């Protein structure tokens, strides 16, 4: 177990290095620069700017300095907002995105898994068909369609929830719902498939044969294995939630990291973009590792190599 | 892969078993009403979008009528018009052209990369396989879409770049699927026979093994198209995808969502078109999987 974790952590280093290198050179190779304003600035001022940010040094020097700083999570000041450090912006905006994402994933699990279990237990009944039809619809309606629709229906027509911003508990409802729906649907489908697979197995027949109540068979014996596909889906799901947060934060004007990323991309705010991308890469890899550990805890058949 | 290769595979097993996998699959697909309906809907949608420039009565999607402005659906404008008085029905149909095109080309890019990568890794085995699959594992863990965003923002937001970027995101699963298939296929006797006849490795992989992975590849391709359409719409929604005056469904939804309180139809119609298309692709993909995947047969029976 320890060697498994150690190995995975060791894999972090080359992966993060690869991403860092890729982003660094992509940014430097791109046409146009961060100080390319609509109005031309004097050559002297431009040179001063380049000097301040170290852009006048040779590429290799810039690269080594970038890597050395990145290790310390120091990405320098934002190009667009020089008074602010990238680190500060991330520290300020990430908790918002994290809250949004955690709520969305929790909702997806708490609603998706029970729906999937019910559908599997009542396979080929009307309940199953209805649940899976809904799930397929949920997978097919993208969040950028669902979000505006929810705003239109629940906030602009029925006035139940505020249509935007991130103030107070009511304001959380629509963004979380928008972000979670796809995953509720997907997790329901995964749970159903996983449960159907498990319910066919011999140990379930044994459990039934020894007279266990159906409820106990499903909840105690089958569910443990049946949700494994869902656990391994949590990694991709969290990547998807981060991606979805870009959209949701834009629709609902949530002051999270996703909005900063999109704006920074438009502003060619190189330091901020690189910082956020690297931060999310590290975050996702850590999360994936935790998911893998949880997975092996849940499924004793898996041997770590 | 050529159409001829497809035909060869479809015919070859028939001689041995009486009812080929393909005719059997076709029959099973035909019995799946949801999948057939979805297929028909997609065919109609595809025909409509392809034929858009020659459709009688369909307005020019860029024709503005500023005096008209945004009006709700009416007999003249079935889907209403946008703020510039452009006919929304026409914009949705033309938007579908772009969305479908991006979906198909992006899928094609991912298909080529994924099948090649998976087939080579599976066939080569050993260290090459280890390395290639480790690369896939690493890429899986990445917030890959961020690199796509970076690519689009830094270089150019052209359609070609969009095809490439979206194809680059989608090939990972395809590579895994193909590799798994190849691993089991490469030990079979027809591969040995081909090798005994002196066929070079490349020919064995691409002429003999890859055509036999077609079933799962077709299924996954059907599921990749909606995924790519979804990604394109996602990027367009953020303003990073298709650039004006061209508009995909994502662009339409994005523009509409900014004025949703005033002109809700500007989100509703493109949103329905997008969601219905995605839903149909998913139904069709599910149907194809049920029809083509022998492992799942007990569920259908």
State how far residue B201 is from chain A, nearest Cα, in angstroms. 31
The pLDDT score that the predictor gives to residue B142 is: 67
User: C-alpha distances in angstroms, A210 versus A137, A202, A204, A216, B162?
Assistant: 40, 12, 10, 12, 59
CA pair distance B139, A139, nearest whole angstrom: 23
Q: Read off the pTM.
A: 0.77
The pLDDT score that the predictor gives to residue B297 is: 42
Residues paired with residue A85 on neighbouring β-strands, in sequence order: A77
Q: With CB atoms and an 8 Å threshold, state whether B143 touches A242.
A: yes
The pLDDT score that the predictor gives to residue A137 is: 81
The pLDDT score that the predictor gives to residue A106 is: 93
* B202 CB neighbour count, 10 Å cutoff: 10
In this predicted model, what pLDDT tens digit does every residue of B27-71 receive, in sequence order? 877 787 888 888 898 888 888 888 877 777 777 777 776 677 667
Average pLDDT rounded to a whole number, residues A175-199: 88
pLDDT at A134 over 80: yes
Question: How far, rounded to the nearest angstrom, does the alpha carbon of residue B45 sit from its chain's CA centroid?
Answer: 14
Residues 6+ apart with CB under 8 A from A133: none
CA pair distance B163, B179, nearest whole angstrom: 24
DSSP string covering B88-121: HHHHHHHHHHHHHHHHHHHHHHHHHHHHHHHHHH
> Crossing angle, helix B88-124 and helix B265-292, to 10 degrees?
30
* CB B251 within 8 Å of CB B234: no
Q: Which residues does B contribute to its contact with A (CB < 8 Å)?
A: 138, 140-147, 149-151, 153-155, 226, 230, 233-234, 237-240, 250, 253-254, 256-257, 260-261, 264, 267-268, 271, 274-276, 278-279, 282-283, 286, 299
- Tell the residue number behind the tokens 């029809």, with chain if given: B291
**Chain B partners within 8 Å of A261 (Cβ):** 146, 149
Q: With CB atoms and an 8 Å threshold, state whether B237 touches A144.
A: yes
Residues 6+ apart with CB under 8 A from B162: B102, B106, B152, B232, B235, B241, B242
Cα dihedral: B250, B251, B252, B258 (round 10): 110
In this predicted model, what pLDDT tens digit does every residue of A220-234 receive, in sequence order? 888 888 888 888 888
Size of interface A-B (CB pairs under 8 A): 121
pLDDT at A67 over 60: yes
CA pair distance B162, B168, nearest whole angstrom: 10
Question: Which residues of chain B, if any, have pLDDT below 50?
Answer: 1-17, 296-301
The pLDDT score that the predictor gives to residue B18 is: 55
CA pair distance B281, B278, nearest whole angstrom: 5
The pLDDT score that the predictor gives to residue B299 is: 40
A266 touches chain B (CB under 8 A): yes
User: C-alpha distances in angstroms, B16 versus A253, A302, B12, B20, B174?
Assistant: 62, 40, 8, 8, 29
CA pair distance B18, A31, nearest whole angstrom: 61
Which among B151, B264, B278 has CB closest to A152?
Answer: B264
CA angle B33/B35/B38 to nearest 5° reads 110
pLDDT at A266 over 80: no
The pLDDT score that the predictor gives to residue B2 is: 44
Beta strands in chain A (DSSP E): none
User: C-alpha distances in angstroms, A59 versus A24, A28, A33, B156?
Assistant: 10, 9, 15, 23
* CB A186 within 8 Å of CB A237: yes
CA angle A19/A20/A26 to nearest 5° reads 85
- Smallest CA–CA distance from A157 into chain B, residue: B261
Q: With CB atoms and an 8 Å threshold, state whether B299 touches A196.
A: yes
> What is the 8-class DSSP label of residue A30?
S
Local confidence band at A33 (pLDDT 50, 70, 90 cut-offs): low
Question: For all residues of chain A together, what is the average pLDDT?
Answer: 81
State how far residue A125 is from chain B, nearest Cα, in angstroms. 14
Q: With CB atoms and an 8 Å threshold, state whether A149 touches B286.
A: no
The pLDDT score that the predictor gives to residue A34 is: 61
Q: What is the ipTM of this complex?
A: 0.75
CA pair distance A286, B138, nearest whole angstrom: 13
CA-nearest of A115, A182, A113, A185 to A147 is A182
Average pLDDT rounded to a whole number, residues A35-54: 71
Residues 6+ apart with CB under 8 A from A122: A128
Local confidence band at A256 (pLDDT 50, 70, 90 cut-offs): confident
Local confidence band at A35 (pLDDT 50, 70, 90 cut-offs): low
* B87 CB neighbour count, 10 Å cutoff: 24
Cα dihedral: A78, A80, A83, A88 (round 10): -40
The pLDDT score that the predictor gives to residue B191 is: 85
Q: With CB atoms and an 8 Å threshold, state whether A265 touches B150.
A: yes
A261 touches chain B (CB under 8 A): yes
The pLDDT score that the predictor gives to residue A107 is: 92
CA pair distance A251, B238, nearest whole angstrom: 10
A27 touches chain B (CB under 8 A): yes
Q: What are the tokens at A161?
A: 């929830």
Average pLDDT rounded to a whole number, residues A296-300: 74
In this predicted model, what pLDDT tens digit does every residue of A88-111 receive, in sequence order? 888 888 888 888 899 999 999 999
The pLDDT score that the predictor gives to residue B10 is: 44
């Amino acid at each position: 177990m320890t060697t498994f974790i150690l190995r995975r952590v060791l894999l972090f280093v080359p992966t993060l290095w690869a991403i860092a290198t890729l982003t660094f050179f992509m940014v430097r190779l791109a046409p146009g620069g961060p100080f390319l304003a609509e109005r031309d600035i004097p050559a002297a001022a431009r040179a001063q700017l380049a000097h301040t940010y170290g852009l006048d040094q040779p590429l290799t020097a810039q690269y080594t300095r970038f890597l050395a700083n990145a290790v310390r999570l120091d990405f320098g000041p934002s190009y667009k907002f020089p008074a602010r450090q990238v680190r500060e912006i991330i520290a300020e905006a990430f908790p918002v995105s994290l809250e949004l994402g955690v709520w969305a994933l929790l909702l997806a699990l708490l609603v998706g898994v029970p729906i999937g279990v019910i559908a599997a237990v009542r396979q080929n009944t009307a309940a199953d068909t209805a649940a899976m039809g809904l799930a397929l619809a949920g997978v097919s309606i993208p969040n950028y369609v669902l979000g505006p629709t929810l705003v239109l229906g629940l906030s602009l027509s029925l006035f139940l929830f505020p249509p935007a911003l991130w103030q107070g508990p009511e304001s959380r409802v629509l963004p979380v719902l928008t972000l979670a729906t796809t995953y509720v649907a997907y997790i329901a489908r995964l749970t159903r498939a996983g449960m159907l697979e498990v319910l066919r197995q011999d140990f379930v027949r044994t459990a039934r044969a020894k007279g266990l109540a159906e409820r106990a068979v499903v909840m105690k014996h089958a569910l443990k294995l049946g949700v494994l596909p869902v656990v391994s889906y949590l990694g991709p799901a969290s990547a998807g939630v981060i991606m979805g947060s870009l959209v949701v934060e834009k629709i609902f004007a949530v002051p999270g990291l996703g909005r900063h990323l999109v704006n920074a991309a438009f502003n060619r705010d190189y330091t901020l973009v690189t910082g956020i991308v690297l931060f999310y890469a590290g975050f996702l890899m850590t999360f994936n590792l935790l998911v893998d550990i949880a997975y092996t805890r849940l499924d004793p058949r898996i041997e770590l190599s | 892969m050529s159409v001829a290769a497809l035909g060869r595979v479809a015919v070859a097993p028939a001689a041995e078993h009486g009812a080929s996998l393909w005719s059997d699959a076709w029959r099973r697909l035909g019995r799946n009403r949801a999948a057939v309906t979805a297929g028909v809907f997609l065919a109609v949608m595809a025909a409509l979008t392809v034929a858009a420039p020659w459709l009688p009565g369909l307005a020019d999607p860029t024709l503005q009528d500023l005096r008209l402005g945004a009006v709700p659906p009416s007999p003249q404008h079935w889907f209403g018009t946008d703020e510039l008085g452009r006919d929304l029905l026409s914009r949705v149909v033309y938007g579908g052209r772009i969305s479908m095109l991006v979906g198909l080309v992006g899928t094609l890019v991912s298909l080529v990369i994924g099948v090649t990568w998976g087939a080579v890794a599976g066939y080569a085995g050993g260290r090459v396989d280890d390395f290639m699959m480790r690369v896939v594992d690493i890429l899986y863990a990445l917030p890959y879409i961020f690199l796509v965003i970076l690519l689009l923002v830094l270089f150019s937001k052209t359609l070609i770049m969009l095809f490439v970027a979206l194809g680059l995101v989608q090939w990972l699963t395809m590579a895994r699927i193909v590799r798994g298939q190849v691993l089991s296929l490469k030990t079979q006797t027809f591969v040995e026979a081909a090798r005994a006849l002196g066929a070079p490795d490349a020919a064995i992989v691409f002429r003999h093994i890859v055509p036999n992975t077609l079933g799962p590849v077709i299924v996954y391709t059907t599921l990749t198209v909606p995924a790519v359409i979804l990604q394109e719409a996602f990027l367009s929604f953020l303003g990073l995808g298709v650039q004006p005056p061209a508009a995909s469904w994502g662009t339409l939804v994005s523009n509409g969502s900014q004025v949703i309180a005033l002109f809700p139809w500007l989100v509703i119609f493109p949103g329905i078109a997008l969601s219905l298309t995605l839903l149909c692709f998913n139904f069709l993909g599910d149907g194809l999987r049920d029809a083509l995947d022998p492992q799942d047969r007990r569920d259908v029976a």
